[in-house]
Amino acid sequence: MTRKISWAIGLLLGAACAAREPNVKPTDMSASEHRAEAQRQKELAQEDASHYKPADSRVVALAPPGNAMTGVEFPVSVYNPTEGYLQKADEHRAHAKEHERAAAALEKFEQAECKAFPERTRAACPLLGPVTRIDDIERGVRVTFAPGTRVDAVVAHMRCHYAFARAHGFAERVSCPLYMPGLEIARQGGAVDLKIRDKAQVAELRARAREEAVFPAAAAKGATP
């Protein structure tokens, strides 16, 4: 029985499976860095595409080298040795789109969290005060504020600042506890829990929170250092 085998399809599928899937995360870099990398990937795509030569195409039989032809009918196809450049260009374009989506996600997150705050206040680290005490909890600290403090406003400012940090990159030189990737902010009545997912960063978060805290003179004596 005569069978038609499309060897080319098998080769293309194999190449597609072997290609690296882009895996870009928003927190890998700042929004501006994501957009810069997206532009670089587009330029690489253009460079690869320029190496494709349509004139190099030629008709070939798709039989594997050294394979017996008995009982098997191989189709004829067009082969171009420069086609690999087109595949590389597509991969660069796909990678560029991943970076563009990551940048958009960071910018959208900042706008959602900071809609009540003008841009000039987003970069300023919210002072943790007036604070009556700071207690260690699992993966972080619980910051208790003095009676009468607008804790909801404090939390809103914290979340905005954290969104700003995510969108613009977490600067290592900044001591603000909100400039730490993986931070979780949750209100607990008159207190706020600050937790971090990376257990190796818990001690650093606790130290930064205590550095930034502002204790009223009357409460300072009973505060946990």
d(CA 119, CA 123): 8
d(CA 195, CA 191): 13
* pLDDT cut 90: percent of the chain above it: 37
pTM over 0.75: no
Alpha carbon separation from 91 to 16, 50, 83, 203 (Å, rounded): 10, 15, 13, 41
pLDDT per residue over 144-169, tens digit each?
A: 999 999 999 989 988 998 888 888 87
Contact 78, 59 (CB under 8 A): yes
Angle at 143 between CA 141 and CA 145, to 5 degrees: 175
Amino acid identity, residue 190?
A: G
Contact 163, 179 (CB under 8 A): no
pLDDT per residue over 68-105, tens digit each?
A: 555 555 566 778 888 899 999 999 999 999 999 988 98
Contact 163, 112 (CB under 8 A): yes
Q: What is the DSSP letter of 8?
A: H
Contact 91, 18 (CB under 8 A): no
Count of CB atoms situated within 10 Å of the CB of 79: 14
Name the pLDDT band for 64 (thresholds 50, 70, 90). Answer: low
User: Which runs of E-coded beta strand occur in 114-218?
Assistant: 131-137, 140-145, 183-188, 191-196
| 75-79, 106-110, 186-190, 191-195: the lowest-pLDDT one | 75-79
Report whether the peptide linkage leading into residue 130 is cis, meaning its omega lies within 30 degrees of zero.
yes
- As given in the structure block, the two tokens for residue 116 are 């009540």
User: Which runs of E-coded beta strand occur in 107-158?
Assistant: 131-137, 140-145
